[in-house]
Structure 1
Amino acid sequence: MHRSPHARRHAALVADLGGRSCFPSRLVGRSWTYRHGQKHDSVRTRDPFIFAAVMVLALVPRLPTLAQPLLEAHGFRQTWTAYTALIYHEQGIDLLHPEMPIFGPPFFHPQEFPIFQAIAAIVMDLGVTTDTAMRVAALLCFFATAGLVFGLARHVAGRAAAWATLLFFVASPFALLWSRGSLIEYLATAGCVAWIWAGIRFREERTWLLLLLAIAAGSLGALVKPTTALFCALPIGLYRAAGEGADVRAWLRARLDPRVILLLIVPGFLATVWTAAADAYFQNKLAAAFLAPSALRDSYLDLGVYSLRAFWWVWAGVGFRFVYLFVGPFLPLLGMAWVAARRERTAFWVGIAAALALPFLVFFGLYRRHDYYMAAISPLAALVFGLGAARLIQAVAGRGRRTLVGVVGAGLTAFVVLFGLTSDYWLRIYEPVHDAEQILPAASELAALSRSDDLVVMVGRRYDPSVLYYARRKGLLITDENASEELYATLPSQPYRIFFSWDPALDPIGIMRSWGWSGAVGPRTYEVGRSARALERSAVLATDDRAAFDVAASGSRRLVPSLIDVRCDGVGRSLDVDPVGVWLLVHADAEARVSLSAYAPLPARAVYVISPQAIGGRSSVSVSCVGPGSMTIDAMTAAPPPL
C-alpha cells in the first residue's frame, strides 16, 4: 500500500517508540487524519500565518535598535564584518577576493567566505545606511534560522515542540542583542539547520532534490563558519530513518550509501579547501601571519601554555554564561527533554546533544573569550529545551485546564524574570549610541586630520578595525602578534602617511622612527614620511637628521647660550621661542616621549621643530618628557620649519 512521506514519517516515529505514539492519543486524534493516504490538518495550515505574526512580534523590540552604531558589544568583530561589506558596496562584490583593509596592502583577506557581507552590501545598494544595513542583514539571517529551526522541530517532534523551540530561540536575552549584530553567525546557523533538516528528509525520502538542497545548505554553513558546521553532521548521520534494519549491518549499510557520504563530507571538504588556501596566503603575509588558521589552533582549542582548560571555575563560568543568557529558570526542562529523547528518535537527539556540547569542549578557547560564539549552538539549544517544554505541557494537559494555564503562566513569568536578571546585558541596545570605549571621537579625529586616501598605521587597538572603519580609512594595525623589527623595516617602502595612536602615553610610538620624519597633528594623530615635505599639517616635527638642524641653524639666531636639562617626569618647563619657528637639537633615552606645546608626544629623536602654528604668537611654549632619565637640549635656534 502506498503511503505519503508524511505518513511514513509518522509510522517511523511510532516505530521508534516501540509502537507507541509520543503524543497523547487525543492529541494524535485531533492532529492526524488520513484520506487516500494524505494527511489533512487544518490547524497546521495556519502555522505560516502564526509564524509570521510571531516574527513581527519579535521584530518590534529590535526595530528601534537598527540605527545604533556597531559598538554596543564586541565592536571589533561587528566592524570587522562590516568593513568587507562596505568595500563590496563601494567596489562591487567578488566572493573570491574579499578585502579587509587593516593589515596593509594588498588588502585581500580570505579569513571567512564572505556571503553574509555580500548580502549586507546588497542591502546597502538599496539605499540603507551602512550600519543599519549590517543589522538588517543579520536580522534576515536570524529570522531565516528561526523558520528553519521551527520546521526542523515540527518535523522531528511535532507542533508543540516547534512552537516552544521557536520561543526559546527568538526570546532569549542573548538573541535580543545578537540577532541584530553585524555578525556572520546566523547565516551559518541557517545553513547548518537547513543541512540537518534537508539531510534527515533525504535519509527518509531519498530524492535527489533533497540531497542537493542538503549539500548546498551544509556547504553554506561550513564555508561561512566551519566551527559552527563541524558537528552538525552528527544528528544527520545518527538519524534513524523508516525502514532501517535494527542490526549493525543494516545501520552501516544505510550510512555507507555514497549519497549519504557525499551529504556528510562535501560541506566539510569545501570548507577545508577554502581554509587551506587562506592559511597559505596568511602565512606569506607578514602583518597577518598570526591570523593563519594553523597559527590560531592553540587559541581556538585553548591548548597553549596559558590554557585555562584545567580550571573548573573557568568551565563553570562559561556554563553559567550559557544558562544566564539563554535558559535561566528553564534549566529543569533538560530533565523532560532527556525523558522524551529516550522515547522519541533517541539516536537523533543524541546527535543533537553531541552537536550542542562538543563545540564547548573542542573550541573552548573561542567560547571562553567571546559570548557571541554561543549563537552557533543556540538553535540546537532551543531544540532541546523546546522538546522538554512541549512534553511538559502535553503531560500536564490531561490534568485540567487550570493546571495547564498555571504551567504556561509560570513559563511566561520565568521569561520575565530572565529578562529582568539580564537587563544589564541587553538594555544597552536601546541607547542611541553606546560607545563605552569612545571609538567614535577617535575616529572623528582621524577623519578630520587626514585625507580620505591616506594610508594609516595604527597602534593601541590590537586588530580591532573599529576606528579605521568609522574614520573610513585603510591601513595597517600593528598588534602584539605582528609587531617586529622586520615589519617596521617595511613601513617606509609603503605609502603610509598617517600614524595614529590610541594612547600615545602608552603605545609604542617609537615605531615612527622607522620614517625619516614624523610630526604631531593632533592629540593622537601624526604624520610620517621620508622627508619633511611629507608632513603637510604637522605643528611639531621630529627627525634624527642632525644635518637638517645644521642647515636651519646656519645664519639663524641662537636662542639659548647653554645646555638645558629637562627631567623626564612629565612636568612641563617653559621655553622662550620665536614666532617664526624653533629648532631644538636634543639627546634623550630612546624610551622617552617628548611633548612640545599641547600636541601629542613624539618619540625621542635628535631634532625637533616647533612651527609657528604650534607657537600661536606666544613668547614661550611648554616642553616636557616622560621616561627614564632626562632630556638635554644641546642647542636651540630660531628658524622656520622645513616645509
Structure 2
Amino acid sequence: MQPRPSASARGLVLAFTLTLAGAIGVLFLSWQASLLDRYEFRQLQTALSTFWIASEGWKLDYPLPLFGPPWSVPMEFPIYQTLVACLHNLTGWGLEQSGRLVSISFLLGSLPAIYDLLGITGLSRSRRLIVLIFIITCPVYLFYARTFMIETTALCFSVWFLASLRRGLVAFHPGWLVLTLCFATAAALTKITTFIVFGIPAAALVLSQTVFARTAPSRTRVLKLCLSAGIAALALTIAWAWFQHGDTVKDSNPFTGFLTARELQDWNFGPLPLRTDWSFWIKIQEVISGYILADGALAIGLICTAFATKNIRWGAGLCLAGFFSGPLVFANLYHIHDYYYAANAIFLVGAAGLLLASAWDNPRLPAGLNWSMLLLVLIFQGYAFYRGYYSHHRNPAPPPPEIAAIIREEVPADGVLLIFGDDWNPLIPYYSERRAVMVPGRRENESQIIDAVIANLPPHRLAAMLITGPVLQSEEDFPATQAARFGFSVEPAAVKNGYALYLPKSNAAPTIATPNPAPPADSHERFIGTENTLTPEQFPMCTPAPLRARSQFGVQPGMIDNQMVVLAHAFSELIFSPPPGARKIHAEVGLAPNAYANSLPEATDGVVVQLFEETPETGRRLLLSRALNPSTDAADRGPQTLSYTQHEEFTGELIFLISPGPDGNNAYDQAYWKHILID
C-alpha cells in the first residue's frame, strides 16, 4: 500500500527543501577560488568584459580589450555582465563572487517557471517537486551554475519564455504575450544556441494550444498560432540585428574578423559527417552518464516508463527530442564543450523526473519503492558529481599567475600590453587589469597589420610587451627585434609563468621582484603551470598513483571512449615515485577525438610525450620521447602504447610530460593518459 497522498506530499516538500539546501551548499563550494578551474578561457573572457563595464560604465559596444581599438568584440548581448557589474559596484563584493552569485540566482530563478510549466502535465503540486529534485541534483548545474558564465542566464530566460508562452496561450492575455516576447528576446540575445534548443518544446506547446485544440474556435486558434510565430520571428530578428552590428564592429579591427558570426558558422555547427561518427555519440553518452544523469538514475527513469501515464510518456519523449536537438544542431560545440549541456540537460533530467513523478502513486508499485527510487537517484547523482566535477573542489583552482601582479605594479593603469604567443587568451589581461593588443594565432610576422593596430593607440600608451611560448622565446631574433621596434629593453624585466615581460628602456631597471630573466635548463619548465597535490583514489588507472601534477589547464580524471582516463592537456606533467625495484614503464597515451575532429587551425597540431627520470644529482634524464599528430597521421589516433625498460632500478622520480608540438601551440592539445604502470 502506498502512503496517503497528504503524507507523501509533506514528505516530498521536505525532501525538496533538504535537497535544495544541499544543492545551494554545493554551489557555494570553492567560493573564493580563482576562475582557473574549468573552461577558464570562457570564464575569463566573460569576466574581462564585466571588469571593464564595472570600471568604465555601460556601452552598447561593450569592452573586450584584447585586440586594440575599438576595444570591443560584441558577442552575446551583455545582460549577465551588466548585472554582475552593477552588483559588484553596489555592494563592493568581489567581481568573481558577484558573477557566481548572479549565475546561481538565475538557476534558482528558473525553478518557479519550471514548476509552473509542469502544470501542463497534470501532475499534482507536490509531485512536480520530484522533477525539480532531478534538476537541482544534475551535476552540470551543480558545477556550471557557480562559474562566471552566461549559461544559467540564458537558461532562465528560455524557461521563462516557455512558461509565459503557455500562460499567454491559455489566458490569451496581451500582458503574458508581451512578457513572452521580452523573455524570448532576452534569451536569444544572451545565447542564441540555448534559445534554439527550446524551439521544439515551444513548437509543441503552440501546436497543443492551436492545431490540436479542437474545442477552441478556429479563428482563435489561427490568431494564437500567428502571434506565437510572430513573437519567435521578432525575437530572432532582433538577435540577428545584434549579430550584424557585432560583425560590423569586429570588421573594424584586422585581428577580430575571425570572430564574426559568418566566420564561426562552421565552428558552431560542425561538419555533417560528425553527426554520424560513432565517437560523437560515444561522447554524448559519456557526458550524459558522467555529468547529467547517472546510469543508475537513467535506469530508474526507464523502469518508471512502464508505470507512467501515456501523456507523461509523450511528454518525456518530447523532452528527449529537445535534449538531442542541441547536439544535433550545434554538433561541434556540444562535442567539444560539456558546458553547452547546461542548455539542454534540463530536458533529459526533466524526462526522468516526469516518469518517476507519474509512477509515484501507481498502485502496482510495491509500498515504499517510490521513495527508495528517489533516494537512489540522489545517491547516483551525488556520486556522479563526486566522480566528475567535484575534483575541481578537491584540487582548488590555481591562483592567478604571478606575472599579472608584476604587470599591475610596473605598467600604468592606462597602459596597453602587446602580447605575442598567447593567441587571444584573456588570462593576463584580466588578472593584470590592463588593456592588451594580443596578436592571435600565428600572425606574429604580420608587421604591417600589427603596426596599423598600434597606430590607433594614443601616443605613448603602449607600455609593455609580453612574449610567451617556447618557440617565440627560443628564436634569438624575435624578442630582440620586437623590443627594438617598439622601444622596449632587449632584456626581459621579468620572466614568470612562461611569460617574458619587456618594459620601456626608461623604466626597465632590475627592480622587479624575482626577475629571473634566464630560462631554466629545461625549456619547457617555465610553461607547465601550478603544482597540485592529488588524491590517490582519483587515479585507479595509474599504478602507483601519481604524487603530484602540474598543468596550465588542470590534471584530472575524466572519460574518453567510455573509460576513465587522466585528462592532461598540454603543457602538463605527472610525477611518480617508482616502487622499490621498479625498472619498467608501460603506458597508453592519446589525444581526445574532439582534438582533431576539425581541420587545422581548429585542431591540434600535435604533442610531444616525454618520460624522464629526475634525481637531485643528475637532474632530468630523458628515457623516451614520442611525437603524436593525429590531425595528419591516422596512425596516431586512439591510445598509443609507450614501453620502456632499463637494467637498473629507478632511483629518482619519474616525470610524464606532455608538451605542444614543434610550433609550441597548445591549442586543442587535449591529451590524456589511459593507463600507466611502473613496475
TM-score, normalised via structure 2 length? 0.65
- Report the alpha carbon displacement of residue 473 of structure 1 after superposing the two structures with TM: 1.1
- CA change 1:340–1:448 in 2 (3 A) is farther
Alignment correspondent of 2:51: 86
- CA change 1:501–1:206 in 2 (3 A) is same
- The amino acid that maps onto 1:518 is F
Q: Within 2, Cα distance between the matches of 1:516 and 1:485? A: 12
1:549-606 deviations in Å (ceiling 9; x for gaps) = xxxxxxxxxxxxxxxxxxxx999xxxxxxxxxxxxxxxxxxxxxxxxxxxxxxxxxxx
Q: Within 2, Cα distance between the matches of 1:511 and 1:157? A: 69
Answering whether residue 112 of structure 2 is matched by residue 133 of structure 1, we say: no
- The amino acid that maps onto 2:397 is H
- CA change 1:322–1:417 in 2 (3 A) is same
- Report the alpha carbon displacement of residue 348 of structure 1 after superposing the two structures with TM: 5.9
Alignment correspondent of 1:299: 267
SS at match of 1:117: helix
Q: Of 455, 460, 463, which residue of structure 1 is paired with 2:416?
A: 455
1:111-140 deviations in Å (ceiling 9; x for gaps) = 110000011012101110111111111111
Alignment correspondent of 2:33: 68
- Asked if the contact 2:197/2:343 (under 8 Å) is kept, the reply is no
Answering whether residue 133 of structure 2 is matched by residue 171 of structure 1, we say: no
Q: Of 98, 106, 113, which residue of structure 1 is paired with 2:62?
A: 98
Alignment correspondent of 1:365: 332
Answering whether residue 493 of structure 2 is matched by residue 521 of structure 1, we say: yes
Larger helix share, 1 or 2: 1
Q: Within 1, Cα distance between the matches of 2:105 and 2:408? A: 32
- Report the alpha carbon displacement of residue 345 of structure 1 after superposing the two structures with TM: 6.8
Q: Of 287, 302, 312, which residue of structure 2 is paired with 1:335?
A: 302
Alignment correspondent of 1:7: none
- CA change 1:486–1:350 in 2 (3 A) is farther
Q: Within 2, Cα distance between the matches of 1:248 and 1:347? A: 22
- CA change 1:244–1:363 in 2 (3 A) is closer
Q: Within 2, Cα distance between the matches of 1:390 and 1:67? A: 38
1:27-51 deviations in Å (ceiling 9; x for gaps) = 9x968xxxxxxxxx9969x999986
How large is the RMSD of aligned CA atoms in angstroms? 3.7
1:327-384 deviations in Å (ceiling 9; x for gaps) = 1122235536766888217776555333221110111111112111111112222321
Q: Within 1, Cα distance between the matches of 2:256 and 2:14? A: 49
Alignment correspondent of 1:503: 469
Alignment correspondent of 1:228: 194
- The amino acid that maps onto 1:367 is Y
Equivalent runs, 1:191-590 vs 2, <5 Å: 191-239=157-205, 240-241=208-209, 244-245=212-213, 253-254=221-222, 257-303=225-271, 308-309=274-275, 311-328=277-294, 329-333=296-300, 335=302, 343-344=310-311, 351-395=318-362, 398-422=364-388, 425-429=389-393, 431=395, 433-435=396-398, 439-480=400-441, 484-493=446-455, 494=457, 495-506=461-472, 510=478, 513=481, 515=485, 517-519=487-489, 520-523=492-495, 524-527=499-502, 535-537=506-508
Q: Mind listing any 5+ residue stretches in structure 1 that lack a counterpart?
A: 1-23, 32-40, 541-568, 572-626, 628-643
- CA change 1:244–1:135 in 2 (3 A) is same
- Report the alpha carbon displacement of residue 56 of structure 1 after superposing the two structures with TM: 3.4
Q: Within 2, Cα distance between the matches of 1:188 and 1:538? A: 49
Q: Within 2, Cα distance between the matches of 1:248 and 1:120? A: 45
Q: Within 2, Cα distance between the matches of 1:205 and 1:340? A: 32
- CA change 1:123–1:512 in 2 (3 A) is farther
> Who wins on radius of gyration, i.e. which is larger?
1
Q: Within 2, Cα distance between the matches of 1:151 and 1:481? A: 51
Q: Within 1, Cα distance between the matches of 2:13 and 2:184? A: 25
Q: Within 1, Cα distance between the matches of 2:199 and 2:115? A: 19
- Report the alpha carbon displacement of residue 418 of structure 1 after superposing the two structures with TM: 2.5
- Report the alpha carbon displacement of residue 263 of structure 1 after superposing the two structures with TM: 2.6
Q: Within 2, Cα distance between the matches of 1:502 and 1:177? A: 31
- CA change 1:272–1:339 in 2 (3 A) is farther
- The amino acid that maps onto 2:287 is R
- Report the alpha carbon displacement of residue 246 of structure 1 after superposing the two structures with TM: 5.1
- Asked if the contact 2:77/2:189 (under 8 Å) is kept, the reply is yes
Alignment correspondent of 1:181: 147
SS at match of 2:209: coil
SS at match of 1:60: helix
- CA change 1:412–1:59 in 2 (3 A) is closer
- The amino acid that maps onto 1:452 is A
- CA change 1:227–1:286 in 2 (3 A) is same
- Report the alpha carbon displacement of residue 162 of structure 1 after superposing the two structures with TM: 2.4
Q: Within 2, Cα distance between the matches of 1:570 and 1:398? A: 69
- The amino acid that maps onto 1:147 is P
- CA change 1:267–1:156 in 2 (3 A) is farther
- Report the alpha carbon displacement of residue 311 of structure 1 after superposing the two structures with TM: 3.0
Alignment correspondent of 1:149: 114
Q: Within 2, Cα distance between the matches of 1:457 and 1:340? A: 64
- CA change 1:401–1:301 in 2 (3 A) is same
- CA change 1:352–1:314 in 2 (3 A) is closer
- Report the alpha carbon displacement of residue 231 of structure 1 after superposing the two structures with TM: 3.4
Answering whether residue 99 of structure 2 is matched by residue 107 of structure 1, we say: no
1:181-234 deviations in Å (ceiling 9; x for gaps) = 000110100010111111122222211111111111111111100111013132
Q: Mind listing any 5+ residue stretches in structure 2 that lack a counterpart?
A: 512-520, 524-661, 663-679
- Asked if the contact 1:337/1:387 (under 8 Å) is kept, the reply is no
- CA change 1:247–1:360 in 2 (3 A) is farther
Q: Within 2, Cα distance between the matches of 1:340 and 1:205? A: 32
Equivalent runs, 1:2-81 vs 2, <5 Å: 54-81=19-46
TM-score, normalised via structure 1 length? 0.69
* Percent identity of paired positions between Structure 1 and Structure 2: 18
Q: Within 2, Cα distance between the matches of 1:166 and 1:244? A: 28
- Asked if the contact 2:317/2:351 (under 8 Å) is kept, the reply is no
- CA change 1:407–1:251 in 2 (3 A) is farther
Q: Within 2, Cα distance between the matches of 1:269 and 1:482? A: 35
Tell me the matched-pair count: 496
Q: Within 1, Cα distance between the matches of 2:282 and 2:181? A: 37
Q: Within 1, Cα distance between the matches of 2:281 and 2:9? A: 44
